[in-house]
Amino acid sequence: MPQLCDLHTHSTASDGQYAPAELARLVRSAGAEIWALTDHDTLDGLAEAGAAGTALGLWVLPGIELSAREYPALHLLGYGFSPADAGLRALCARLREGRGARRFRILDYLREKGVVLDLAELEAMAGGSNVARPHFARAMAERGYVSGVREAFDRYLDTPEFHARIEREKPEARECLDTLHAAGGWVSMAHPYQTGLAGEELEALVCRLRGWGLDAIECFYPRHSPEQTEEYLTLAQRYGLRVTGGSDFHGEKVKPDIAVTPYELELF
């Protein structure tokens, strides 16, 4: 039976605006029945999200978003795993260390471009989590270097030069899949359009990931065009994959055009 789900959201445990408990209330008020907090490379917000969401009547799936090495924006969403799994926790610790080191490289890179930011301000904005690109983007907007978060990414934080010079170490997709499966979870390919692939190239990637155990594709996403959604649904059917969907909500200060968006999905 289909249920309203938002399976892609971010909190202050990574680069979102709202604490997990606050986010649970927003998700519930949007009408969702099933929710997953999928912070980047961290499990830190899951206990708070689970307690708050359950109290509100949400079915809360443990979630995470991992970045894979093969493409700059190849992201994998893990669901239903054990947050206590030692292998997954070790992978998250390794990724957190890489993110921590990258903040200094980003500061130096932006300084070369004439953008001078204060690390203490960024750390306060992150609220104890790793400083990530959205924190830099928000700080740049608040300091007047750019008109908004989108311009910060377009001009500085999501360019070929940035990725060539600042890209952090990432695990291979197969390691992400193996680790999440070993922790008892299942895995969906996030926002396929961000890989820049379509047609035969995208199908070849999906086929390879399926061979490594990919379980699902995020077919429903606010920035997918109708044609893209149809392409991903076709791939899901062709390769026997589940269909997932999520808003990728970070908060209006981070992604002003993205609201919590439950999608009607039949997960189980």
Indicate which CATH number applies to the domain containing 130: 1.10.150
Report the alpha-carbon distance of residue 82 to residue 67 in Å, rounded: 19
Structural domain including 160 reads 92-166
pLDDT value for 206: 98
3-class DSSP assignment, residue 155: helix
Helix H or strand E segment including 61: strand 59-67
What is the residue-wise DSSP string for 249-261? B--TTT-TT----
Structural domain count, the chain: 2
Tell me: do 100 and 201 sit in the same domain: no
Are the C-beta atoms of 85 and 64 separated by less than 8 Å? no
**Average pLDDT, integer, range 208-220:** 98
Tell me: do 120 and 70 sit in the same domain: no
Tell me: do 179 and 162 sit in the same domain: no
- % of the chain beyond a pLDDT of 70: 100
Tell me: do 122 and 202 sit in the same domain: no
Residue pLDDT, tens place only, 51-90: 999 999 999 999 999 999 998 789 999 999 999 999 999 9
Tell me: do 233 and 259 sit in the same domain: yes
**Average pLDDT, integer, range 123-134:** 81
**Token pair listed for 229:** 């959604």
Residue where a domain stops, chosen among 146, 166, 186: 166
Nearest to residue 100, comparing CAs of 129, 130, 125? 130
pLDDT value for 128: 67
Are the C-beta atoms of 187 and 78 separated by less than 8 Å? yes
Tell me: do 201 and 177 sit in the same domain: yes
Report the alpha-carbon distance of residue 135 to residue 124 in Å, rounded: 10
- The one-letter amino acid code at 81 reads F
Residue pLDDT, tens place only, 18-36: 999 999 999 999 999 999 9
pLDDT value for 72: 77
Residue pLDDT, tens place only, 183-196: 999 999 999 999 99
CATH of the domain at 49: 3.20.20.140
pLDDT value for 233: 98
Tell me: do 120 and 60 sit in the same domain: no
Tell me: do 79 and 186 sit in the same domain: yes
Residue where a domain stops, chosen among 166, 192, 210: 166
Highest mean pLDDT among 69-83, 94-108, 228-242: 228-242
**Token pair listed for 163:** 């990725």
Prediction pTM value? 0.87
Tell me: do 128 and 151 sit in the same domain: yes
Residue where a domain stops, chosen among 140, 166, 192: 166
Tell me: do 224 and 255 sit in the same domain: yes
Tell me: do 147 and 230 sit in the same domain: no
pLDDT value for 16: 92
Tell me: do 121 and 158 sit in the same domain: yes
Report the alpha-carbon distance of residue 266 to residue 268 in Å, rounded: 6
DSSP 132: -
